[in-house]
Amino acid sequence: MQFDDLLRRYFATDDLSGVSASGLEAGIERCKVDLGLETDRGKRFALWSLLYMLGSSPDLDVAFKHEDEREAARNFMDLMAASENPDNT
């Protein structure tokens, strides 16, 4: 799953800055539904990552059954935090 493809699928755009609040809310809800239905681990991780970046991801123990998936998500969260505060590494 490519990031731009996810944006187009859930928000009908490549640029979230033009999405209305209601459009953002609707796209997030559709993404959450798909996360709940998805069985492929890689696709689930991609959907969770998008939701995380939008501040709407479910807790790790809810989103991921396996510890290795939760650990990958923690690593992703750490990488995102480091990219936001490059001086705090």
**Segment 72-86, tens digit of pLDDT:** 999 999 999 999 877
Which pTM value belongs to this model?
A: 0.89
pLDDT at 84: 85
- Cβ atoms 50, 31 nearer than 8 A: yes
Condensed to tens digits (0 to 9), the pLDDT of residues 55-67 reads 999 999 999 999 9
Domain ranges of the chain: 3-88
Q: Which residues contact 13 (CB under 8 A, 6 or more apart)?
A: 7, 19
**Distance between CA 36 and CA 29 in Å, rounded?**
11
Q: Which amino acid is at 31?
A: C
